[in-house]
Amino acid sequence: MLKIFLSLIAITLFIVIGIDSISLENNPKEIKPKETTLYIEPIKEKPVEIASLYENKNSDKKEYKDNSIYDEIKSLFEKADSLTNPNNYRDALEIYNKIIDMSQNRDDTTLLKSFAKAYFSKAYIFTNYSQSKDEAIVAYDSVIEKFVDSKDEKLLLLYYHAQIQKSHLLEKNESIKIYDEIIDKFKNSDSTELLKKFASAQFAKSYLLSGEESIDIYDEIINRFKHSDDKKLLKELSTAQFAKAYLLNDCLENKMEAIEVYDEIIERFSSYEGDLFQKEITDALFFKSFLLMGDYRQESMEIFDEIIDRCKVAEDGTVPRNFEYSVINNIELALITNDDDTKYRDLANKYLSHLEDTRPQLEMLTILRNAQELNQDKAIQRWKDEYKDYHFENWSFEELKKWNNQMEDKKERDRIRGYLNDFIKHSNTTS
């Protein structure tokens, strides 16, 4: 049985919207979290390009007598950027201090962004060149204190950015305190962008807590957004629901409650027309069907059928993963339940036979199906020769082993067990 290709979707979704960073354009380009740890370390990446700070920002500028201050600050940033290296970073720090002096007492959003960017740049230097974590924290604190009481969304996003970067430099408990500050500050906001940051801080906090505590956090996000009509916030809602369901099943071993959450996702988003939330629906259906496989195989097949009907193969031949895995899973379930697999074989021949990862799986299932009646020694040898380097990624043999163990005919059971063990051994030796 194909493992759920989204078996770690909750984790990957956590990473996508968890500890995100914003550039001065509110675009997450500056620092990307490592995907291999729950406690995220900052990646050593230089700040966003200077030019983007001034791009299309005339609406933020105030009119000064000669407007030369903008050009001067831009020039200073460019000079400092060229000096931001192991040999010259001290000179860069002096320039950033000059920019801070020029911009810190202004009420012009563009200049205040320059103020923040200079401190972010200093923090980058302290973290990566002078190895002074404490000074980096002080730099982030300067931005936090400057904008914490601001009413300007753009400046509050910079406050958020500074808080998140600071959290990367702290121990677990201190990081949690920062996430709590962000959560309390943004939870009652009317701004979509700030509410997204509320959710991001909640997710970041959840990485550092136990399963049950994390579920409480996901419930807070769900309760905050469940009545929203904002499509961006509904995306956050679905992410929290998927994360909750994942923990319920994989960590707390509460399969039925996880299924209930998937049902809530399906019901909540089925009312939207078009493809806007189609992925959320098909993902939830897939998760649900995966959890039903062991005890409710027929219902699981019916759900896979619904996914197949919902998914569309693109005009360029791109096959949605949910479609691909639903077809293959139903071929296997048809084998296990002794149902007709013609429909799924036809779909596989039409849409999946060209996929390098799928062909070996389909041929394996054909060998096992034919092995119920006939010796398949030659067929399996051909398979081994053709796919000697193939590894069964995202595949579990558990359902096939259960099926094999339940066979009443000893000769048939032993024959298929031999072939099944060959495939398992092949997978283990190529992993």
CA 164/CA 175 separation, integer angstroms? 9
> Mean pLDDT over all residues of the chain?
87
Handedness of CA 278, 279, 282, 287 (dihedral sign): negative
Residue 324 pLDDT exceeds 50: yes
Cα separations (Å) of 306 from 97, 283, 303, 417?
61, 12, 5, 32
Q: Fill in the DSSP letter of residue 364.
A: H
Residue 194 pLDDT exceeds 90: yes
Q: What is the CA radius of gyration of the chain?
A: 27
Give the global pTM. 0.82
The confidence score (pLDDT) of residue 394 equals 84
Residue 140 pLDDT exceeds 50: yes
Residue 66 pLDDT exceeds 70: no
> How many percent of the chain have pLDDT more than 70?
84
Residue 38 pLDDT exceeds 70: no
CA 138/CA 152 separation, integer angstroms? 23
Q: DSSP letters along 119-131, please?
A: HHHHHHHHHHTS-
Mean pLDDT on 379-408: 94
The confidence score (pLDDT) of residue 419 equals 97
Mean pLDDT on 80-100: 97
For residues 92 and 100, the answer to whether their CB atoms sit within 8 Å is no
Residue entry with tokens 């996914």: 307
Residue 420 pLDDT exceeds 80: yes
The confidence score (pLDDT) of residue 50 equals 33
Mean pLDDT on 30-51: 33
Mean pLDDT on 369-396: 94
Least confidently predicted of 31-35, 136-140, 277-281: 31-35
Residue 12 pLDDT exceeds 50: no
Tokens of 206: 């959840």
Residue 23 pLDDT exceeds 60: no
Q: Fill in the DSSP letter of residue 60.
A: G
Phi and psi at residue 93, in whole multiples of 5°?
-60, -40
Residue 57 pLDDT exceeds 60: no
How many helices (H) and strands (E) the chain has is answered by 20, 0
The confidence score (pLDDT) of residue 49 equals 39
Residue 415 pLDDT exceeds 90: yes
Beta partners for 2? Answer: 395
What pLDDT band is residue 43 in, cutting at 50, 70 and 90? very low
Handedness of CA 103, 106, 111, 116 (dihedral sign): positive
Give the residue with greater pLDDT, 49 vs 303. Answer: 303
Q: Which one, of 291, 323, 279, lies nearest residue 305 by Cα?
A: 323
For residues 284 and 268, the answer to whether their CB atoms sit within 8 Å is no
The confidence score (pLDDT) of residue 64 equals 53
Apex 154 CA angle, 79 and 12, nearest 5: 95
The confidence score (pLDDT) of residue 261 equals 98
The domain ranges of the chain are 9-227+316-429
Apex 286 CA angle, 283 and 287, nearest 5: 90
The confidence score (pLDDT) of residue 30 equals 33
Apex 191 CA angle, 187 and 197, nearest 5: 55
The confidence score (pLDDT) of residue 98 equals 98
Mean pLDDT on 325-353: 96
Tokens of 233: 């916030």
CA 9/CA 280 separation, integer angstroms? 12
The total of other beta-carbon atoms located within 10 Å of residue 224's CB is 19
Residue 81 pLDDT exceeds 60: yes
For residues 159 and 167, the answer to whether their CB atoms sit within 8 Å is no
The total of other beta-carbon atoms located within 10 Å of residue 226's CB is 14
Residue 365 pLDDT exceeds 50: yes
The confidence score (pLDDT) of residue 67 equals 73
Q: pLDDT digits over 214-261, tens only?
A: 999 999 999 999 999 999 999 999 999 999 999 999 999 999 999 999
The confidence score (pLDDT) of residue 45 equals 39
